[in-house]
Chain A
Amino acid sequence: MIVGEQKPLEEIWEMVKVHKQLTVFGCNTCVAVCHQGGNKEAGILASLLRMKATQEEVDIEIVDSGIERQCEHEFFESVRDLMNRSEAVLSLACGIGVQFVATKYQTLPVYPALNTTFLGDVIAVGHFTEKCQACGDCVLGLTGGVCPVSRCCKRLMNGPCGGSSNGKCEISKEIDCAWQLIVDRLEALGRLDDYEKIPPLKDWSKDRAGGPRSFKLEDM
């Protein structure tokens, strides 16, 4: 899922305080899982902003709302009237949702309440870690299900560097060496011989090098 972190309240306030009306708009899928941008968080942020407006003596009407996903047209049906009467939208979605709102409502100012951080998993309650960089040419089949692109700080494709020590990366003691994990995993699978094999060159043209990517189903 997509992980995001809410921006500091001051930064959000500076963006939105020029408006007379603001809709704080949650996105109840990925960013709700990390407790940063769901409809509940939209309610909390709207409340904090209303109190901020009272403190600063700024006249601004702040309402909160939300939908299940801000990256698909269908979900916006239920908020058509709200969007039409909104002067500005503070979106708690990831960068995708914010841009979707901006594209869908051409004359409606939209602001991001979150910093979209990474594609990750939930390894424990409230603990999210990066696991994928959407490089477009998955190598997990070769690396025993551990991604060297997202989990090796140097994105190395051919084994650990000299900075790997006791299974940790030289960047931080908190970060596992991805190649140590790959070797351990291949060993556990009885596939350590595969580590010696030279894999084909990775196709980096499917990464960001070719500009923004798209994918279209021909049968739909």
Chain B
Amino acid sequence: MTADGEKIEERQSPEKPCEIPPDWKANIIAFACHYCAFAAADLAGVMRLSYLPNSKVIRLPCTGKLDHIYVLRAFERGIDGVFVAG
């Protein structure tokens, strides 16, 4: 509502609303730089640290290698979030 009582309609999201199942978890893909973030993930593995199975790590030679199309293809194939670390 504005000051003079005019009702403002909320902008519609282009995405269609859908039911979220209670056990749903976001599917995350991580693009990690070979020299830092991926090395950290590797170290985490060596230390036997566990992380959730709904995230997948992909090694890049450098995050500068990340291309628009990698991110778009990930979303096209049902990924919910993209994490870039480098």
Question: Taking beta carbons and an 8 Å cutoff, which residues of A are in contact with B?
Answer: 40, 43-44, 47-48, 50-51, 54-55
Closest A residue to B14 using CB positions: A55
A173 to B16, CA, bound (A): 44
> Which 4 pairs show the lowest CB-CB distances between chains A and B?
A47-B72, A43-B69, A44-B68, A47-B76
Residues of B within 8 A of A (CB): 14-16, 68-69, 72-73, 75-76
Are A51 and B76 touching (Cβ within 8 A)?
A: yes
The answer to whether B72 touches A44, judged by C-beta atoms less than 8 angstroms apart, is: yes
Give the chain A neighbours of B68 by CB distance below 8 A.
40, 44
- The distance in angstroms between the C-alpha atoms of A4 and B12, with both chains bound, is 31
Chain A residues positioned under 8 Å from B14 (CB to CB): 55
In the bound assembly, the distance between CA atoms of A86 and B15 in angstroms comes to 29
Please tell me if the beta carbons of A48 and B69 are within 8 angstroms of each other in the complex: no
Q: Is the interface of A mostly helix, strand, loop or mixed?
A: helix
Q: Which of B15, B16, B69, B73 has the most CB of A within 10 A?
A: B69
Interface pair A55/B15, CB less than 8 Å apart: yes
Residues on the A chain within 8 Å of B15, using CB: 55
**Complexed CA–CA distance, A55 and B16 (Å):** 7
Q: Is A50 within 8 A of B69, CB to CB? A: no
Closest-CB distance, A211 to chain B (whole angstroms): 41
What are 19 pairs between A and B in contact, CB < 8 Å?
A40-B68, A40-B69, A43-B69, A44-B68, A44-B69, A44-B72, A47-B69, A47-B72, A47-B73, A47-B76, A48-B72, A50-B76, A51-B72, A51-B75, A51-B76, A54-B76, A55-B14, A55-B15, A55-B16
Cβ contacts under 8 Å, A50 to chain B: 76
Taking the closest CB of chain B, its distance from the CB of A45, in whole angstroms, is 10
Distance, CA A149 to CA B49, complexed state (A):
68
Question: Which chain A positions have C-beta within 8 A of B72?
Answer: 44, 47-48, 51
Of all chain B residues, which has the CB nearest A50? B76
Q: What's the nearest-Cβ distance from chain A to residue B16, in Å?
A: 7
Known: A44-B69, A47-B72, A55-B16. 12 other contacts (CB 8 A): A40-B68, A43-B69, A44-B72, A47-B69, A47-B73, A47-B76, A50-B76, A51-B75, A51-B76, A54-B76, A55-B14, A55-B15
In the assembled complex, the CB of A37 is this many whole angstroms from the nearest CB of chain B, namely: 14
Kindly provide the distance from the CB of A52 to the nearest chain B CB, expressed in whole angstroms. 9
A43 to B67, CA, bound (A): 11
Name which residue of chain A comes closest to B73, CB basis.
A47
> Closest A-chain residue to B16, C-beta based?
A55
Bound Cα distance from A51 to B76, whole angstroms: 6
**Whole-angstrom CA separation of A167 from B46 in the bound complex:** 65
Q: How far is the CB of A36 from chain B (nearest CB, A)?
A: 13
Complex CA distance for A167 and B72, rounded to whole angstroms: 45
Report how far A146 CA is from B69 CA in the complex, Å: 40
A202 to chain B, nearest CB (A): 45
- CB nearest neighbor in A for B78: A54
Whole-angstrom distance between the alpha carbons of A40 and B70 in the complex? 12
